[in-house]
Amino acid sequence: MSALRNCEGVTRRNCLQLGVAAFAGGGLSGLLNLQAQAATQAVAEGKTPAKAKSVIMVWLDGGPSHFETFDPKPEAPIEIRGEFDPIATRTPGLFFSENMKALAGISDNLCIVRSICHNQGNHGAGNHYMMTGAPTRIPVGCGAFVSFHPSYGSVTSYERKAPRGLPGYFSIPSVSRSGGPNFLGAKYAPFVVSDDPNQATFRVRDVNLPAGLTDDRFMQRRDLRKLVDQLPRFAEAAAGDPVLAVDSYAQQGYDLMTSVEAQQAFDIGREPEKLRDKYGRDSFGQRCLLARRLVEAGVPWITLYDGGWDDHSDIFPRFRTRTPKLESSVAALISDLDDRGMLDSTLVVMLGEFGRTPKISTLSGSKTPGRDHWANAMSVMFAGAGTPRGAVIGATDRNGYAAVERVLSPENFASTIYRKLGIDPDRIYYTPQGRPTHLVSDSTPIKELMA
């Protein structure tokens, strides 16, 4: 699916114009070339055994409505409950919105948390809070690209060993505005796969050789570079020669291009046609399948980014059009992981930065109704890695205004993910300037998810 605009009008094109993409998810060569300041501290053991070898985060940028997904309110007035009916799931007594038929059919593999909430009601701050587990230090606008703290993917890449020939953190097909590494350094920024795996010409940038360059010519160029690099350099460059650092990064780039593991992970054409059909023959569906292949290759963190969930208007026709494709692909991903015996070691989460207002409105001046930003309530889907199956945690009030039962914070959410990965959320990091920073200020996980 193409990345759509949020209410502040920010698109991926804006990111490129601002130079953000070059920092957060540009070419691999540039990413590898910025590793010198990366931290090297060893992984800390969590207080509970690690359940997750990998995490797939399905990020619905803009803030999906909890009413139209996992928390319908059939007894609320029409101006709140909206146009969709609730449907029964495989879990007795659990109801989803009618938009979520495929996920309702595998609810016995899911746990829905209905009571995470916070106080950051704009995209910039809400995105940062839910992508890092840390609130912003200063007020930020809706359209801000915010980085005060490392994202989950960057921390996971930092703490967990990356598989041979592959980066430890992928963001597909683009990176969220707070999905970067902050003080951990560019080594732990995401590798972005912007190419469309649904296309017959799918080819991942910086992994395949350039068109027209054969293996022999590629190796000859590499050997020529080695000869040039062996020429004597000035004595003053002997200590901390930056060219030597560049050489090491270039070598890692060569390793990726010649890695059998990398080539196999991205060769989505190896998958049976029936399975590809089950995932959905569209961009998002095939990206879900690619995420599963990356998990098989040992990648510890994959973000599947899907934009355009800022439904201030046209919310009901938009949900009718796009939600069935997305949720059926997510259901296929979870079912496929389960069939392969991989769900017990893979955590799948789906969320955005917040929920949507209970009362349907036309705030943006549109004649077609929508829902606006609402951080007092949201629903988050969990599956796998020891997550209890067929469960619901927390609740909102009768009209969906606020979390009223088992009220939880983004810090609880962050600590849960880290504990699942065997990363201690209570640990302290140090910035390059020596400033101590808690990974998560409240290291209490959601206990019901830690069974």
Q: What is the pLDDT along the chain (451 residues), one digit of tens a residue?
A: 445 557 765 544 444 333 343 344 444 444 444 433 332 233 333 356 789 999 999 999 999 999 999 999 999 999 999 999 999 999 999 999 999 999 999 999 999 999 999 999 999 999 999 999 999 987 676 766 789 999 999 999 999 988 888 999 999 999 999 999 999 999 999 999 999 999 998 988 666 555 554 445 544 444 444 444 555 544 333 333 444 434 434 544 555 666 777 888 999 999 999 999 999 999 999 999 999 999 999 999 999 999 999 999 999 999 999 999 999 999 999 999 999 999 999 999 999 999 999 999 865 555 789 999 999 999 999 999 999 999 999 999 999 999 999 999 999 999 999 999 999 999 999 999 999 999 999 999 999 999 7
**Residue 163 domain-assigned (yes or no):** yes
Q: Are 145 and 177 in contact (CB under 8 A)?
A: yes
Tokens of 83: 């146009």
Asked whether the CA dihedral 156, 159, 164, 167 is positive or negative, the reply is positive
Q: What is the CA radius of gyration of the chain?
A: 22
φ/ψ (deg, to 5) at 228: -60, -40
Alpha helices in 306-385 (DSSP H): 315-339
Q: What is each CA distance from 303 to 157, 192, 352, 394, 433, in whole angstroms? A: 12, 10, 12, 25, 29
Q: Are 143 and 127 in contact (CB under 8 A)?
A: no
Quote the CA–CA distance of 238 and 218 in Å, as a whole number: 29
Quote the CA–CA distance of 7 and 63 in Å, as a whole number: 11
**pLDDT value at position 122?**
93
Q: Nearest to residue 417, comparing CAs of 164, 51, 169?
A: 51
**Residue 397 domain-assigned (yes or no):** yes
How many domains, in total, are found in the chain? Answer: 1
Q: Which secondary structure element, helix H or strand E, spans residue 242, and what is its range?
A: helix 242-257
Q: Are 261 and 247 in contact (CB under 8 A)?
A: no
**pLDDT value at position 41?**
34
Residues 6+ apart with CB under 8 A from 226: none
Q: Are 110 and 381 in contact (CB under 8 A)?
A: yes
**Residue 294 domain-assigned (yes or no):** yes
**Residue 396 domain-assigned (yes or no):** yes
**pLDDT value at position 240?**
36
**Residue 174 domain-assigned (yes or no):** yes
**Residue 239 domain-assigned (yes or no):** no
Q: CA-based angle 180:186:187, to the nearest 5? A: 115
Prior bond to 173 cis, omega within 30? yes
Q: Is 124 helix (H, G, I), strand (E, B) or coil?
A: helix
**pLDDT value at position 210?**
53
Q: Are 138 and 125 in contact (CB under 8 A)?
A: no
CATH number for the domain spanning 117: value is 3.40.720
**Residue 238 domain-assigned (yes or no):** no
Q: How far apart are the first and last CA of the chain?
A: 35
**pLDDT value at position 319?**
97
Residue type, 258: T
Answer yes or no: pTM beyond 0.75: yes
Quote the CA–CA distance of 210 and 91 in Å, as a whole number: 51
Q: Is 235 helix (H, G, I), strand (E, B) or coil?
A: helix
Quote the CA–CA distance of 297 and 145 in Å, as a whole number: 31
C-beta atoms surrounding 269 within 10 Å? 10
Asked whether the CA dihedral 391, 397, 402, 408 is positive or negative, the reply is negative
Burial of 423 (0-12, 13-18, 19+ CB in 10 A): buried
**Residue 221 domain-assigned (yes or no):** no
Quote the CA–CA distance of 138 and 441 in Å, as a whole number: 17
The domain of 113 spans 12-208+244-450
**pLDDT value at position 367?**
72
Q: Nearest to residue 279, comparing CAs of 296, 293, 266?
A: 293
Burial of 101 (0-12, 13-18, 19+ CB in 10 A): middle
